[in-house]
Amino acid sequence: MIRKSIKQISDMISIKNDITPFVDLIVEGVTIDSRKIEKGNLFVPFKGENVDGHKYVEAAIAKGAAAALWQSDVPNPPAHLPILLVDNCLLALQELAREYRHELPVKVVGITGSNGKTTTKDMTAGLLSVQYKVQKTEGNFNNEIGLPLTVLGLDRDTEIAVLEMGMSAIGEIEFLTKLACPDAIVITNIGESHLLDLGSREAIAEAKLEILLGLANGGLAVINGDEPLLMDRLQEHQGTIHFETFGRKDTNDVFPTEIQQLGQGNRFKINASNESFQLPVLGTHNILNAMAAMLIAKHFAIPYEKMNDGLAQIKLTHMRMELVEGKHGEKIINDAYNASPTSMLAATDLVSDLQGYGRKILVLGDMLELGAEEEQYHYKIGTGLHADKIDLLFTYGALGEQIAKGARSVLGEQRVFAFTDKAGLIRELKQHLDAQTLVLVKASRGMKLEEIVTALQK
């Protein structure tokens, strides 16, 4: 993490007040939450939905923060405390991160895409850790606040940083990539996430392709070669960017030649190696993520022969295909972090394909931010189910009801239960669980379906 004197920080960002009394103070690390202060931190206050973080500046310093920023339009900065007055705390945080990034010798990998950013980030970091000191985005800290915080958390001796870059509007990825200046990037796929804001998959692709604007000359771009919206754009970058593709099709640089879905993961082979790879995470879509990560690892001179070590140590961020057990001995796939049609289909296909269960139940909720066609997207999830592969469907939410409507035409009325209250859904669901049951729980973040997983574990 960043370690600077106040004087050095004043050389990196524009500070409006006289800091002479504090120039020799040492700042170590940056936080935006006074409840997480560590000694020596720089506390950066933000105005939130509930409270203005400026209210916690004195408490933060009392708890050990070395100094705090203070936005100049907020009255009454505390006197005689190490306060750095700035025009805008967010801009100051971002400028500090930008300056710090350019001091570091670190190589940066930037990862974006509609689905699989966090998973691919975790996989890439796992593979690279076999040979390098690696730091990565923690959790889902992938936006205009989260990425700068991640950069400021980088140690000087970190060799590779794996940074997740998220967006919900045009221009956001451009900002992040020009701050991070990656040496290699991944675009996992183009789905439907944030379609409400972007309006079309073409616009989503445009937004993800912004990541190339910050890529170093001669840098590596690993992209999903099955996606025409990406492949159609390579020509304009020929000569300045080296592209490598991954995907299911054999037209890619790397594609799977053998796939075996196991109870708690996958075994697979690829065209580019004789190795048999073990991936301890569910879902063949995660083989796609793994292949993208493997192309990055190969770019950093990790041989395929060493990659199983990295793949074996992968721990996905919670609520992504997380296999847990319920009170009745049932297996639960907690995939409740978020949902879009692409990820919902990947999850229901996985459950349909998994063998060895007496009963397979889906608990699916609303997919948010899909725009005008949201009902059709949900209805198609329902009609896409197979009566011989899914036993029961429970839905939660108003849009979940559209999944139920579509499913009734294939599963029949008796096997579909639609709810608008979690308590009622849980009560009915518990009637159908035993040690041979598999349950998938999935919906958008706003639906908080992890509450159902928790209820099944009590």
Ligand X SMILES: C[C@@H](N)C(=O)N[C@H](C)C(=O)O
Ligand Y SMILES: CC(=O)N[C@H]1[C@@H](OP(=O)(O)OP(=O)(O)OC[C@H]2O[C@@H](n3ccc(=O)[nH]c3=O)[C@H](O)[C@@H]2O)O[C@H](CO)[C@@H](O)[C@@H]1O[C@H](C)C(=O)N[C@@H](C)C(=O)N[C@H](CCC(=O)N[C@@H](CCC[C@@H](N)C(=O)O)C(=O)O)C(=O)O
Binding-site residues from annotation? 113-119
Contact status: 116 vs ligand ATP (CB under 6 A): yes
Q: How far is the CB of 98 from ligand X (least distance, A)?
A: 24
Contacts of 383 (CB under 8 A, 6+ apart): 406, 407, 409, 410
* Residue 162: both structure tokens together: 């794996």
Residue where the block lists tokens 């800290």: 141
Contact status: 150 vs ligand ATP (CB under 6 A): no
Give which of ligand X, ligand ATP, ligand Y, none residue 342 binds (C-beta under 5 to 8 Å, depending on kind).
Answer: ligand ATP
**In 3D, which of 391, 398, 397 has the Cα closest to residue 433?**
391
Q: Which residues of 11-23 are buried (b: 16+ CB within 10 A; e: fewer)?
A: ebbebeeebeebe
Burial environment of residue 222 by CB neighbours within 10 A (0 to 12, 13 to 18, 19 or more): buried
SS3 116: coil
**How large is the angle between the packed helices 201-209 and 172-180, nearest 10 degrees?**
20
Give which of ligand X, ligand ATP, ligand Y, none residue 346 binds (C-beta under 5 to 8 Å, depending on kind).
Answer: ligand ATP
Give DSSP secondary structure letters for 166-205.
--SSTTHHHHHHHHH--SEEEE-----TTHHHH-SHHHHH
CA dist 419 and 425 (Å) reads 6
Q: Which is nearer to ligand ATP, 72 or 454 (CB)?
A: 454
Binding segment for ligand Y (CB under 6 A), chosen from 136-144, 199-207, 319-327, 388-396, is 136-144
Whether residue 300 contacts residue 160, with contact meaning beta carbons closer than 8 Å, is answered with yes
Contact status: 193 vs ligand ATP (CB under 6 A): yes
Spatial strand order of the sheet with 331-334 comes to 322-325, 331-334, 437-442, 359-365, 392-396, 416-419
Query: In the stretch 19-58, what mask flags binding to ligand Y with x, by CB under 6 A?
Result: -------------xxxx----------x-xxxx-x--x--
Q: How far is the CB of 65 from ligand X (least distance, A)?
A: 29
- 322 in the Ramachandran plot: left (φ > 0), alpha (ψ -120 to 50) or beta? beta
CA dist 307 and 293 (Å) reads 10
Give which of ligand Y, ligand X, ligand ATP, none residue 119 binds (C-beta under 5 to 8 Å, depending on kind).
Answer: ligand ATP
Among 88, 140, 143, 273, binds ligand ATP (CB under 6 A): 140
**How large is the angle between the packed helices 285-299 and 341-353, nearest 10 degrees?**
110
Give which of ligand X, ligand ATP, ligand Y, none residue 118 binds (C-beta under 5 to 8 Å, depending on kind).
Answer: ligand ATP
Among 71, 158, 188, 444, binds ligand ATP (CB under 6 A): 188
Contact status: 142 vs ligand Y (CB under 6 A): yes
CA dist 115 and 186 (Å) reads 12
Give which of ligand Y, ligand ATP, ligand X, none residue 64 binds (C-beta under 5 to 8 Å, depending on kind).
Answer: none
Contacts of 444 (CB under 8 A, 6+ apart): 338, 339, 365, 366, 367, 368, 369
Contacts of 357 (CB under 8 A, 6+ apart): 331, 436, 437, 438
Q: Which of residues 163-182 bind ligand ATP (CB under 6 A)?
A: 166
Write out the residues near ligand X by the rule CB under 6 A.
140, 193, 338-340, 368-369, 444-446
**Residue list, annotated binding site for ATP:** 113-119
Q: Which is nearer to ligand Y, 90 or 216 (CB)?
A: 90
Among 31, 129, 135, 189, binds ligand ATP (CB under 6 A): 189
- Which residue lies nearest ligand ATP, judged by its C-beta? 116
Q: How far is the CB of 338 from ligand X (least distance, A)?
A: 3
Q: How far is the CB of 336 from ligand X (least distance, A)?
A: 10
Q: Which is nearer to ligand ATP, 34 or 135 (CB)?
A: 135
Q: Which is nearer to ligand Y, 145 or 323 (CB)?
A: 145
Q: Which helix (H) or strand (E) holds 73?
A: none
Contact status: 171 vs ligand Y (CB under 6 A): no
Give which of ligand ATP, ligand Y, ligand X, none residue 56 binds (C-beta under 5 to 8 Å, depending on kind).
Answer: ligand Y
Binding segment for ligand Y (CB under 6 A), chosen from 22-30, 163-171, 262-270, 282-290, is 163-171
Contacts of 445 (CB under 8 A, 6+ apart): 337, 338, 368
Contact status: 338 vs ligand ATP (CB under 6 A): yes
Q: How far is the CB of 358 from ligand ATP (least distance, A)?
A: 24
Q: How many CB atoms lie within 10 A of CB 372?
A: 9
* Residue 309: both structure tokens together: 């070590």
Contact status: 436 vs ligand Y (CB under 6 A): no
Give which of ligand ATP, ligand X, ligand Y, none residue 343 binds (C-beta under 5 to 8 Å, depending on kind).
Answer: ligand ATP
Q: How far is the CB of 168 from ligand X (least distance, A)?
A: 8
Residue numbers at the binding site for ligand Y (CB under 6 A):
32-35, 46, 48-51, 53, 56, 139-143, 145-146, 149, 166-169, 172
Residue numbers at the binding site for ligand ATP (CB under 6 A):
113, 115-119, 140, 142, 166, 188-189, 193, 283, 285, 288-289, 320-321, 335, 337-338, 342-343, 346-347
